Chains A and B, each alone.
Chain A
Amino acid sequence: MRLVLAFARSPAGRHGSVMDVPRLDFARGVITGAIMLAVAVNLAQFRVIEREIGLTYAALNRYESAYVADVVAAHTPTVRQRFGLYAELRRWARGAEVFVGPHSGLQRDQLAGLSGMGELHDWDGSAHELSEEEATRIAANVVTEGEDRWAGPFALAVPDRSVERLVSFRLDDTLVLVDGRLLDGFEP
């Protein structure tokens, strides 16, 4: 810096120091050198930052699969709690019509956008009495369970990925999302 300031004080003109070419080139070399030094500092600390900053904000995060549902599944608990349910719906029932029961806690824009569900309908789940056989069928077809930030505990029951109608209702405290085919004579 002392060297730089020495140059700063060299022959002064009215508009500042207008320097001769060799000195000017040297001064430009100082600026370039300072930039390259800054690059070296960046490179030296890159790995340290990666080590200390944690998974979410590390510069290079490699996933087994970059499919959105897989990224969510491999992400932090916070992300899984906010988006895990919708990612699983995308994985298992994308495109299905959804019959949303009361107090579901489901976020409609995420159902349509993130999960890629078909039309969304309001549905009064209380009109459908769940038989013992239906409950057994549902339990046998649960493909994923978890905890959603807004809906609370949830379970998704589908026999395969060709779901056309998905029905949501509350069973005790759990939000159950069921393929309409698992319910006897389901009529919206």
Chain B
Amino acid sequence: VIVESLAVLAIVAGGGLLVRTAGVRGWAVPLLGLAVGLAVQVVLTAALGMAGIEAAAWLPLVATALFPAVWWLRCRRAGEDVGLAPAAVVAVAAGLVGAVAVLRAAHLVNATPDSFRYLTTTGLLGTGRLDEASAFLLESRLLTVPAMHAPATLTDELYLRALTPIVAVACLGVLAWLVQTGLRGRITVPSPRLAAVAAVALLASNNRFVFHAFYLNGHLLLAMWFLLLAGIAWLLLSDADLVGLMPGRLVAGLVIIMPAVVLTRPDAGLMALLVSLPLVVAAGVTPSWRFAILLSLGGSIAMWQGYLAVAYLGDERDMPTSVPGLLALGLVIVGSAVVVRQSGTGWLPRRSLGLVEGSLWAALGVAVALDPRLLLRSARATLVNVFWDGGWGSSLLVLATLVVGVLLLTSTPGRAALRFPVTTLVPLSILLAYLRESAYREGPGDSLNRMLLQFVPIAILLVVSALATDRWRWPGRHERRHADAVAGDP
């Protein structure tokens, strides 16, 4: 209990201090703090592990708490309003220790074969033996999930038993904060607080969300981080009342979590690109924001794939084509970061998001023409999973109906930040089946069936964000153009 409590406290403290300096206040500080602090801890642990340093289990925890504390003190000395109420700090710390004790005693855990492969890497990472991991293990399970559990190896365990459910609570907290902040000053009935409660209830009551709240895997992490990426983009691109918040530092938070996202799953970098694209191409976004986001994303992808390439060469095994392919993608993103910084985004087509989405559908069309059977098998399995076998009940059908309904009937500024990741999921997920050269399968363990959770919180935020609409009709041509322009298509 002691080591796990210290680990969780270090993560929440470091992340909490960072988000406090971005202007986040009150109950949201520890919850958003966990989301950001965990990313810091993961990235530092992965970096030390790749360097073969045995202290990868504890040193990153110290650094996760220490560096933000130094930054927070600097901001405080500069006269910024970043204070924290001592009583609240003590209450949060006590609550976290209590939560760790209760969750450890509950013995609730969900594990599949993938989980034990993640824990294999945890054991290697925590003891400074990452060089003994096979290139295939690194490529398929990456480092984020192993790194978040690495402190467990200090007590000869392989996972922090309370951390995953605490991440689930943080994910709910991120959703609540985004709803409340995004709707603040824009609606009175229902109040933003009631809207936040409704959003949280919709996510928390979903059977698959509860499954992932105890599941040793990375989908919940991506759900939380993608929500943060899309949600902050929505806040920045909409008319949200950001009084007290520092937008530049919110974007810095996105830059921090990007490497942790990339190291979570093989396809996470590609998905992060799509999730962050609405912000990157939006008109009026500061060039340095675009540069920082793209550099963080592209640099993380390129560095990780480079590390994998070296690992494959060391293993003397055939390198899968995805490694050089994603390495090239990472470098292209880094290159585009430089171009965007130098020459802005004025040269981008007027409807870049539409073009990207259209390109995904076109690529899917080509793939289907080459191998229609794979599409049919994947589509059939996915339909079976969504409606019967996947453990979703009718929740996805209901959520999809709500999404389509609000997209047709309402219009809110900046919504492309939430709509784009959800609607591009359809062609992207099927394209991924072609890239991995195998169809999706029936059953709750299918990878797409598990991946769907990564986008459910964004879809819920999309639905709830419609409460800010002042229009209520089928969109006409003019309105559509108006919405796109505000949403950031340059």
Residues of A within 8 A of B (CB): 4, 7-10, 12-19, 24-25, 27-29, 31-32, 34-36, 38-39, 41-43, 45-46, 48-50, 53, 56-68, 71-72, 75, 78-79, 82-83, 94, 108-110, 112-116, 120
List residues 113-145 of chain B with CB under 8 A from any CB of chain A. 113, 116, 119-124, 127, 129, 132-134, 137
Chain B count of residues within 8 A CB distance of the other chain: 74
Q: Which residues of B contact A72 (CB under 8 A)?
A: 116
B89 touches A (CB below 8 Å): no
- Selected from B108, B119, B199, B464, the residue in CB contact (under 8 A) with A68 is B119
Assembled-state Cα–Cα distance A17/B473 (Å): 6
Q: Which residue of A lies closest to B183 (CB)?
A: A28
- The minimal Cβ–Cβ distance linking A97 to chain B, given in whole angstroms, is 14
Contact B157 A68 (CB under 8 A): yes
Residue of A nearest to B388 (CB): A52
A46 close to B394 (CB less than 8 A): no
Q: How many A-B contacts if CB must be within 8 Å?
A: 196
Chain A minimum-CB-distance residue to B112: A56
Contact B474 A116 (CB under 8 A): no
Q: Is there an interface contact between A42 and B189, defined as CB atoms closer than 8 Å?
A: no
From B121, B207, B210, B406, residue with most partner A Cβ within 10 Å: B207
| B207 CB contact (under 8 Å) in A31, A36, A59 | A59
Please, could you name 21 A-B residue pairs with CB atoms under 8 Å apart, sorted by A?
Answer: A4-B409, A8-B474, A15-B482, A16-B471, A19-B470, A24-B470, A25-B188, A28-B190, A29-B189, A38-B395, A39-B205, A48-B393, A49-B393, A53-B444, A57-B110, A59-B207, A61-B214, A83-B113, A83-B116, A109-B133, A116-B127
Residue of A with least CB distance to B120: A113
In the complex, whether B201 has a CB less than 8 A from a CB of chain A is: yes
Q: How far is the CA of A38 from the CA of B391 in the complex (A)?
A: 16
Cβ proximity bits B405-421 to A, threshold 8 Å, 1 near / 0 not: 11001010000000000
- In addition to A66-B109, A109-B133, 20 A-B residue pairs with Cβ atoms within 8 Å of each other are A8-B473, A10-B473, A13-B471, A17-B471, A19-B471, A32-B467, A35-B201, A36-B198, A41-B395, A45-B394, A45-B395, A49-B207, A49-B393, A56-B110, A62-B106, A63-B107, A71-B111, A108-B134, A109-B132, A113-B123
A109 to B202, CA, bound (A): 41
Q: Is the interface of A mostly helix, strand, loop or mixed?
A: helix
Considering the chains assembled together, what is the distance between the CA atoms of A38 and B204 in angstroms? 12
Separation of A7 and B473 alpha carbons in the complex (Å): 7
The 8 closest A-B pairs by CB, nearest first: A16-B471, A113-B123, A113-B120, A42-B205, A45-B393, A57-B444, A59-B210, A59-B211
